[in-house]
Amino acid sequence: MKLPKRPFIRPALISFGLAAVLGAVAWLNRVPQLPHAAPLQPAPAVQSEPQIPAPVAETTPGSPAVNTAAFKDQGVLAFVWQGLLYTLDGHTGEVKAITESGQALYPAWSHDGQWLAFVRVTDPQAQAGPLWIARRDGSQAHQVQGLPGPLGRRNFAWSPAADVLAVSTEKGLWLVPAEGGPRRAADQGGTAWSPDGKSLAYSVVLPFDPNDPESRSDALYTMAVDGGQPVKRIEAPQAGIILAGWWPDGKGLLYWVDPLHSNSIAADGLDLFSLRLGDTKPKALTISLVSPQWLSFSPQGRLLLVKGGGRIVWAGKSLAVIDVPAGSVQDLKNPAGSVSLDPSFSPDGRRIAFVAAKDLGHNVWGFKNPQELAAWVATRTLWIEDADGTKAHPVTSAGGGVYQPLWSKDGSRLLYVRDNALWMVEAEGGAPARVVDLLPAQKDLFGFYGFVTFSDQVAWFRN
Amino acid sequence: MCSLHRNHRQWGFNSLRWRLGISYAGLVLIATALLTGMAVQTAATISVAAERERALSGVKGVAAAFSDALATAAADPAQIAREQGLAAGGRVLWLGPDGRVRVDGSGDAALGGKNIPLPTGLLEASGPRAGIYDTGSTWTAYAVTPLAIAGRSAGWLLLVRDLAALRQELSALQRRLWLMGAVLALIVTAAGLVFANSLARPLERLTQAARRMQAGDLRQSVPVEGGQEVASLAAAFNDMAARVAALDEQRRAFIADAAHELRTPLAALQTLAEGMRAEPGPKPAGLDGFVRQTERLGRLVGSLLTLAHLDNPELRLNLAPIRVRNLLEEAYWTVQPLAAARQIQLQAVASAVDAWVRGDPDWLHQALVNVLDNAVRHAPSGGWVRTAVQTREGMVNITVTDAGPGVPPEALARLGTRFYRPAAARERKTGGAGLGLAIVREVLHLNGGQVTFFCPPGQGLGVTLTLPAAPAEHKPQL
């Protein structure tokens, strides 16, 4: 076709055609268009606010039977039912499932009750697994990754002042904030928080001859959480150190000494020592089983514990109140024919709740059949007495087979375990109320020569 | 100004060869760009769709395995996520019902309990969903599916796969196609040049033949080859050239014959007129005019005979070394009477070189006289005619300029053509026949030189006679 001979028509048509061709080239050769998304690796941007509302409580037919009225205004209860971890909010009456699968154990509340730590069992034999953290409402549940090895009952503890966990592993001491990754703080050791949450105490195995492991010695260290240098407080020659905790005023430490690092010796009870920070000589207080559950501190700084050696709990066990700074021990008298177990100071420190069980004597090392065991368990009754041991009396309405009584915040009630369920009873007596079932099947109540703890299934935040 | 045309191939960027070659290359490159773009876009669309389906099926499989593992055994979710991620070729994350990370299969502890910036709407679907996204530095496939463990809703399972390899493959494909296109463009350009050369060469031969014809060599013939159209053009050109040559031959023969036939009666007339004027007594009226006309006619016939003589292929020249200075002095002597009559000053520009040329002295003398005569005739009375001699690259240039009115630029190319008289004031008054400069051109041509015309600024006509310089060994020892 012959183009018109107007001077501008031909250049215009050529320019238009050229532009069309170049446009088509550019359009076809553009980078393939995909919707944009923020990169996930290597350092994902973290958003602080949740984008999705927290899950609501699930009370499906498979949920535990809960008596919310019995727990009204009693804080928040974390408990394990059929392996799953639940929370019961005494203020709202809501029951929330924190986990959907697996076996949860060792729930533990943070100091402010906003976070819940627990273990999801991956090693059923050792009852250990990775550590998990979740918010009180179940949101932000996540596995703490980056920690070595599975964790057990005594491997982690919340700071009393911050939302930080101290985690002791075979490969060192770690600090795990509720939000964020773990940070390695020390080479090794079991750990205990100071009351103000600013320091940690931990034990360290000193270098030893591998050919003579029994000769190894432990040392006790303290360390400021904010990065201060570790301070060696004491060394136990050819013995292990098992931390019991800090003095309530934070001025000293309590610990057991385990000669030759012997598990057998430790099972029969160890000397409990008290060491004032700065001193070089500790003071032996008494012999007790290595059971932190049997230690209870009063606001006044007194320590209530179960005194007595021997691994069997139905013989030679009584209560004692220790003035920790002074190192004086006050023995409390057992109810007649009984041993005293599972002690608990009331919040005001004036009263003591404990379990009295029939004293079977040192010659009994076991039971011939479950019925005999059940008969002994049935003798476990709830008792209350004043802090000086006077006015001891049973709370008969609570029934038999009582374990682990715990005072409510106002000291008017007691939460305890019986018949594999949690019960609440008025301290002054009255009919107990079944709060929640723990397991459909009965727990092995022989435990370790009678020692049974339900703290691996229950955590009570009383505020 | 007449220019010297060289017979060489045209390789400029405006030549047919380059235009055709570049056009081919451009077309190939454009075609390559279009096809490459279409191919890459198509491949990207297909690949992205396939990766989306792969991610979707992958996350379903991972979710099923993850759910089974966590429902039936005390498995470590992080380990399961890590194993499933390895199996699925990606990163598996377990997100809780609140959308926050519960477990990261790659073990990033900092993500625990945190929201991660997922594409909008990904977690809003009730079923499995997958998408491919550009995360800036790479492409990433996100696939998510609701997760249920032992019949309980447990949030979502997210599978993230890095598709950097796909992006690199597409880039590599694009590079390969472009490289192939570039190579193809080079090949086509070369082929285009060869093709264009096959087209251009016959045309160039035609152009050269036409230029030779324009220069006076009418006997031209070009090979009849190439494509049909080009061969037809060559054949037509040959026919035309043959016809023109024949007509020119007839014309020359006619002029020569006419000049010969006119010379005898014209000589008789001149003799008779001179006799009548020489006799004493009263003269017939108009005798002087008659004599001048016969003299003019005689010069015309002489010029025609000279041209006929020059056209004779049997003409033999007496080539010899000639000192240009002598040649100019003899020519001055010849035209001096006319210059004196017209009060024209003949000026010779001093030259430091003693130039010698090789040629026929008689013919070159006549050519130079013709040029000077033409200049003297056209210079205004009281004006000047100037000569200059230069040597350059084995040639000697004898330049004659005058103070005349000059000729229009468009007439320069035709000067030297027989009987051509520019329609300008320069020629109207002198009444020349248009043969003097034609003789000059023929003489120069026969002596291996050429004549060029130009109009110097502020002057009249300039004529340059270019002759081969005489070799030094041929110069006589002075």
Residues of B in contact with A110 (CB under 8 A): none
Shared domain for A317 and A278, answered yes or no, is: no
Cα–Cα distance between B94 and B309 in angstroms, integer? 112
In a domain, A156, yes or no: no
Per-residue DSSP letters for B218-286? --------SSHHHHHHHHHHHHHHHHHHHHHHHHHHHHHHHHHHHHHHHHHHHHHHHHHHHSSS---TT
Put simply, the answer to whether B30 touches A142 (Cβ < 8 Å) is: no
Two tokens, residue A132? 């998990």
Cα distances (angstroms) measured from residue B290 to each of A68, B287, B377, B383: 154, 5, 22, 31
Spatial CA neighbour of A124 closest among B150, B75, B71: B75
Tell me the nearest-neighbour CA distance from A150 into chain B, angstroms.
10
Residues of A in contact with B162 (CB under 8 A): 41
Tell me the nearest-neighbour CA distance from B197 into chain A, angstroms.
27
User: pLDDT digit string (tens) for B288-333?
Assistant: 888 888 888 888 888 888 888 888 777 888 888 999 999 999 999 9
Chain A (46-75) residues lying within 8 Å, Cβ to Cβ, of chain B: 46-47, 49-55, 58, 60
In a domain, A356, yes or no: yes
Chain B (320-379) residues lying within 8 Å, Cβ to Cβ, of chain A: none
Among the candidates A256, A290, A324, a domain finishes at A290
Put simply, the answer to whether B114 touches A141 (Cβ < 8 Å) is: no
Cα–Cα distance between B103 and B70 in angstroms, integer? 13
Residues of B in contact with A49 (CB under 8 A): 115
Chain A (160-219) residues lying within 8 Å, Cβ to Cβ, of chain B: 178-182
Q: Which helix (H) or strand (E) holds A428?
A: none
Two tokens, residue A233? 């407080």
Shared domain for A284 and A300, answered yes or no, is: no
Cα distances (angstroms) measured from residue A44 to each of A53, B92, B105: 21, 15, 14
A231: CATH: 2.120.10.30
Angle between helices B361-378 and B436-446 (to 10 degrees): 150
Cα–Cα distance between B148 and A267 in angstroms, integer? 43
CA–centroid distance for A372 within its chain: 32
Cα–Cα distance between B217 and B248 in angstroms, integer? 10
Specify the higher pLDDT residue, A27 or A130.
Answer: A130
Put simply, the answer to whether A52 touches B97 (Cβ < 8 Å) is: yes
Spatial CA neighbour of A193 closest among A176, A205, A207: A176
Res A439: pLDDT: 66
Shared domain for A361 and A315, answered yes or no, is: yes
User: pLDDT digit string (tens) for A291-333?
Assistant: 888 999 998 889 999 999 999 999 999 999 999 999 999 999 9
Strand partners, A47: B115
| Residue of A27, A36, A101 with shortest CB distance to B70 | A101
Establish if B80 touches chain A: CB-CB under 8 angstroms. no
Cα–Cα distance between B91 and B368 in angstroms, integer? 100
In a domain, A178, yes or no: no
What's the order of all strands across the beta sheet hosting A433-437? Answer: A403-407, A413-418, A421-426, A433-437
In a domain, A417, yes or no: yes
Which of B93, B111, B122 would best serve as a mutation to test chain A binding (most A beta carbons within 10 A)?
Answer: B111
Cα–Cα distance between A204 and A183 in angstroms, integer? 18
Among the candidates A290, A324, A349, a domain finishes at A290
The question of ipTM being above 0.85 is answered as no
Q: Which helix (H) or strand (E) holds A190?
A: none
Specify the higher pLDDT residue, B73 or A255.
Answer: A255
| Residue of A35, A100, A142 with shortest CB distance to B112 | A142
Per-residue DSSP letters for B334-371? HHHHHHHHTTPEEEE---SS--EEEE-HHHHHHHHHHH
Report the chain A residue with the minimal C-alpha distance to residue B134. Answer: A36
Residue numbers in chain B where pLDDT is lower than 50: 1-7, 425, 428, 478
Put simply, the answer to whether A28 touches B150 (Cβ < 8 Å) is: no
Shared domain for A309 and A222, answered yes or no, is: no
SS (H, E, C) A125-189: CCCEECEEEEECCCCCCEECCCCCCCECCCCEEECCCCCEEEEEECCEEEEEECCCCCEEEECCC
**A31: confidence class by pLDDT, cuts 50, 70, 90:** confident
Put simply, the answer to whether A27 touches B70 (Cβ < 8 Å) is: no
Among the candidates A290, A312, A331, a domain finishes at A290
Written out in words, the top-level CATH class of the domain with range B228-311 is mainly alpha
Chain A (132-161) residues lying within 8 Å, Cβ to Cβ, of chain B: 133-135, 138-146
Put simply, the answer to whether B74 touches A49 (Cβ < 8 Å) is: no
Shared domain for A286 and A297, answered yes or no, is: no
**Rounded mean pLDDT of A115-126?**
91
Sign, Cα dihedral of B262, B267, B268, B269: positive
Residues of B in contact with A139 (CB under 8 A): 96, 98, 100
In a domain, A177, yes or no: no
Q: Do A223 and A231 meet the contact criterion of CB atoms below 8 Å apart? A: yes
Whole-number percent of chain A with pLDDT over 90? 59
- How crowded is residue B476: how many other Cβ atoms within 10 Å of its Cβ? 9
Shared domain for A269 and A301, answered yes or no, is: no
The CA-to-CA distance between both ends of chain B, in Å, stands at 37
Q: DSSP code of A290?
A: S
Q: Which helix (H) or strand (E) holds B45?
A: helix B16-72
Put simply, the answer to whether A142 touches B160 (Cβ < 8 Å) is: no
Note the CATH architecture for domain B7-213: 2-Layer Sandwich (3.30)
Residues 6+ apart with CB under 8 A from B301: B259, B262, B263, B266
| Three-state DSSP class for residue B464 | strand
- How crowded is residue B310: how many other Cβ atoms within 10 Å of its Cβ? 17
Residues of A in contact with B111 (CB under 8 A): 44, 46, 142
Cα–Cα distance between A376 and B421 in angstroms, integer? 150
Residues of A in contact with B136 (CB under 8 A): 36, 39
Two tokens, residue B333? 């002597």
Tell me the nearest-neighbour CA distance from B95 into chain A, angstroms.
9
Protein fold of B320-474: Heat Shock Protein 90 (3.30.565)
C-alpha R_g of chain B: 47
Put simply, the answer to whether A40 touches B48 (Cβ < 8 Å) is: no
Shared domain for A197 and A331, answered yes or no, is: no
Put simply, the answer to whether A124 touches B74 (Cβ < 8 Å) is: yes
Cα–Cα distance between B195 and A8 in angstroms, integer? 33
pLDDT at A39 over 80: no
Angle between helices B16-72 and B77-88 (to 10 degrees): 150
Q: What is the length of chain B? A: 478
| Residue of A32, A122, A142 with shortest CB distance to B41 | A32
Cα–Cα distance between B66 and B85 in angstroms, integer? 10
Q: Do B123 and B144 meet the contact criterion of CB atoms below 8 Å apart? A: yes
Q: Do B238 and B224 meet the contact criterion of CB atoms below 8 Å apart? A: yes
Per-residue DSSP letters for B83-151? HHHHHHTSEEEEE-TTS-EEEETT--GGGTT-B--PPTTGGG-SS-EEEEEE-SSSEEEEEEEEEEETT
Sign, Cα dihedral of B97, A159, A124, A372: negative
Spatial CA neighbour of B448 closest among B464, B466, B436, B463: B466
Helices (H), B284-424: 287-311, 324-341, 361-378, 409-412
Res A442: pLDDT: 62
Establish if A122 touches chain B: CB-CB under 8 angstroms. yes
Shared domain for A391 and A357, answered yes or no, is: yes
Angle between helices B228-278 and B164-214 (to 10 degrees): 30
Which of B152, B159, B160, B175 would best serve as a mutation to test chain A binding (most A beta carbons within 10 A)?
Answer: B152
Which of B23, B28, B98 would best serve as a mutation to test chain A binding (most A beta carbons within 10 A)?
Answer: B98
Res A54: pLDDT: 35
Shared domain for A259 and A389, answered yes or no, is: no
Residues of B in contact with A40 (CB under 8 A): 91, 116-117, 135, 140, 160
What residues make up the domain containing A380? 293-463
Per residue in B32-62, is it b (16+ CB within 10 Å) or e — as a string?
bbbebbeebbebbeebbeebbebbbebbbeb
Residues 6+ apart with CB under 8 A from A415: A74, A77, A405, A406, A408, A422, A423, A424, A435, A460
The CA-to-CA distance between both ends of chain A, in Å, stands at 93
Cα distances (angstroms) measured from residue A341 to each of A248, A381, A438: 22, 10, 21
Largest interatomic CA distance in chain A: 127
Put simply, the answer to whether A141 touches B100 (Cβ < 8 Å) is: yes
Cα–Cα distance between A71 and A57 in angstroms, integer? 17
Establish if B100 touches chain A: CB-CB under 8 angstroms. yes
In a domain, A83, yes or no: no
Put simply, the answer to whether B135 touches A37 (Cβ < 8 Å) is: yes
Structural domain count, chain A: 2
Residues 6+ apart with CB under 8 A from A222: A194, A199, A200, A201, A202, A230, A231, A233, A253, A277
Compute the CA torsion angle A279, A285, A287, A289 (nearest 10 deg).
Answer: -70
Could you tell me how many CB contacts below 8 A there are between chain A and chain B?
Answer: 187
In a domain, A137, yes or no: no
Angle between helices B228-278 and B287-311 (to 10 degrees): 140
pLDDT at A15 over 70: yes
Count Cβ atoms within 10 A of the Cβ of residue B448 and give its class: 0-12 exposed, 13-18 middle, 19 or more buried. Answer: middle
Put simply, the answer to whether A37 touches B75 (Cβ < 8 Å) is: no
| Residue of A37, A124, A133 with shortest CB distance to B140 | A37
Shared domain for A354 and A372, answered yes or no, is: yes
Establish if B77 touches chain A: CB-CB under 8 angstroms. yes
Q: Do B218 and B241 meet the contact criterion of CB atoms below 8 Å apart? A: yes
Residues of B in contact with A144 (CB under 8 A): 109, 112
Chain A (11-50) residues lying within 8 Å, Cβ to Cβ, of chain B: 21, 24-25, 27-30, 32-41, 44-47, 49-50
pLDDT at A366 over 90: no
Tell me the nearest-neighbour CA distance from B389 into chain A, angstroms.
50
Spatial CA neighbour of A176 closest among A210, A142, A125, A127: A142
Chain B (122-151) residues lying within 8 Å, Cβ to Cβ, of chain A: 123, 131-140, 142, 149-150
Specify the higher pLDDT residue, A257 or A44.
Answer: A257
What residues does each domain of chain B span? 7-213, 228-311, 320-474
Res A4: pLDDT: 55
pLDDT at A198 over 50: yes
Chain A (402-461) residues lying within 8 Å, Cβ to Cβ, of chain B: none
Establish if A336 touches chain B: CB-CB under 8 angstroms. no
Strand partners, A242: A256
Shared domain for A280 and A199, answered yes or no, is: yes
Q: Which helix (H) or strand (E) holds B165?
A: helix B164-214
Establish if B98 touches chain A: CB-CB under 8 angstroms. yes
Shared domain for A208 and A265, answered yes or no, is: yes
In a domain, A382, yes or no: yes
